[in-house]
Every structure is written in structure tokens, then in C-alpha cells.
Amino acid sequence: MQRKAIIIGATGMVGERLVKQLASLYETVIVLARRSPQVMNEHMQFYQVNDFANIAEVVSGLSIGSDTDAFSCLGTTKKQAGSEEAFRQVDFEMNFNFAQSCRDKAVPQFFLLSALGADVHSRFFYNRVKGELEAAIEQLGFAQFVIFRPSLLLGERKGRFLETASQKVFKLVSPLLSESLSAHPISVQRVAAAMAMTAHALYERQKFVQDTQQSQTTIIENKQMLAMTRLKS
């Protein structure tokens, strides 16, 4: 059976690194985005989505199903979105609609890029929305739902001077900090590697072990991603 991956958020900091790695693991990688990834190869199929409010309609027309893993690296900030309502539309509604559409097509596994501190009861709006998204997708009943919660992401973001400046400071002090710290900054390359490694490990396990559990949720925290990618950083 040929393996497929479908991904949204493929042109973001983590997503653009992840999609390259998925192309080496899957026979077909379906990219749903407003613009094409900078690097395309024979394993990748690009579908332009101008309005993610219509993501369900797009997914319904694709040939995906039990042979497909779904990935979401889609996210924004309240400052970028312009308001709390606009932020929720991207980080919750678009992500959830994508997940629900994949589940409707019998996609068994969903891999979500979330954030450190995600919690439905958080007093911080950003963390609360992330937690609400995790809880909502969990209720969809994927056979495997894997959540990745990175800390501060280290990587270049165009047009975000203050964040880039703070990242440069963290890069200078990171060698002095233990990676066992839960909030230790993590590079986007290592987050993408952790997501790809986890998907591959699940596939290898399924070749030998028939899971009897109907659905399983796994949370991979920041320090776990640091540990599993230490030799690949």
C-alpha cells in the first residue's frame, strides 16, 4: 500500500521543514496552502487553497483515506491575525475543520503542532485556544492523535524584527541552559524532525503490532522533542 501524507501549514517555519522530510517517508505528500512550497519534488502534490474556510470542500475531493496520515502546522499570532476572533478563526476553526474533514475521509492518524502550555483552563488566551483545539480534535476519535508542544521556536521569520532579535539572544544563551528544562528554546528543524520521526516510528510499529485500542492520544512535550532529536540537531 502506498503511503500518503496531507499537510496544512506547509509554508510556515516548521511546516516548510517538515514537508521536505515527509517527502522522503511517503510516496505522496499532499500540500494544501495559499502558495506553493519553495521546494517541490516528484513526491509532492500542491493544491492551492485561497480560503481555508472552504477546506472541507477541498479535502472531500481528494483521494485520501486509511492509507493517509494528516499533519497540521498551521498557526498564527494574535498580532498577525489582528484580533482574538481572527486568531481563533485560524488556530482553532481552520485546524479543526481540516481535522474533521480528514476524519470524515477515514484518515487514521493526525499529527498536530500545538504549543507549550496548551490548556483549556489557561488564563492566557493563546494557550487556552491551543488547549481547546487539542481537546476538540481528540473527540474526533483518530486511531492515533499525536500532539507536539514546542517552546519558543528558533528560526527565521520575515517581518518580525523583535521576535528575531529575541531569538538571537536565546541562541547565545541556549548552550548555557540544560535541555532538560521544559521551556528550553527549540529550533524549527528539531520540531519538524520530531514530527517526522514519530510518524515513521508509528508506521514501523504498525507493521508488526496490531493495535487493539480504538483511539490513542499522545502528547510529546518540548523536552521530549529535544531529547529525541539531540543527535540530529
- Could you tell me if residue 35 is inside a domain? yes
The residue written with cell numbers 481547546 in the block is 132
Q: How far is CA 28 from CA 20, 22, 78, 164, 173, in A?
A: 12, 9, 33, 34, 40
- Could you tell me if residue 63 is inside a domain? yes
* Ramachandran quadrant class, 9 (left: phi over 0; alpha: psi -120 to 50; beta: rest): left
Domain harbouring 136, CATH code: 3.40.50.720
- Could you tell me if residue 168 is inside a domain? no
pLDDT at 135: 98
Neighbours of 83 (CB within 10 A): 10
Domain with 124, as residue range(s), is 4-151+187-222
- What angle do helix axes 95-104 and 125-138 make, rounded to 10 degrees? 10
Long-range contacts of 168-172 (CB under 8 A, 24+ apart): none
- Could you tell me if residue 170 is inside a domain? no
In one-letter notation, the amino acid at residue 218 is T
pLDDT at 177: 52
pLDDT at 167: 54
pLDDT at 37: 86
Total number of domains constituting the chain: 1
- Could you tell me if residue 52 is inside a domain? yes
- Could you tell me if residue 165 is inside a domain? no
162, three cell numbers: 523583535
111, three cell numbers: 499529527
In one-letter notation, the amino acid at residue 41 is N
- Could you tell me if residue 164 is inside a domain? no
The residue written with cell numbers 502550555 in the block is 117
pLDDT at 233: 45
CA 165 to chain centre: 25
Per-residue pLDDT of the chain (233 residues; tens, 9 = 90+): 589 999 999 999 999 999 999 999 999 999 999 998 888 889 999 999 999 989 999 999 999 999 999 999 999 988 999 999 999 999 999 999 999 999 999 999 999 999 999 999 999 999 999 999 999 999 999 999 999 999 999 986 554 444 455 555 555 555 545 555 678 899 999 999 999 999 999 988 877 666 555 789 999 999 999 999 986 54
Bridge partners (DSSP) listed for residue 219? 147
pLDDT at 58: 95
In one-letter notation, the amino acid at residue 160 is R
- Could you tell me if residue 72 is inside a domain? yes
pLDDT at 214: 75
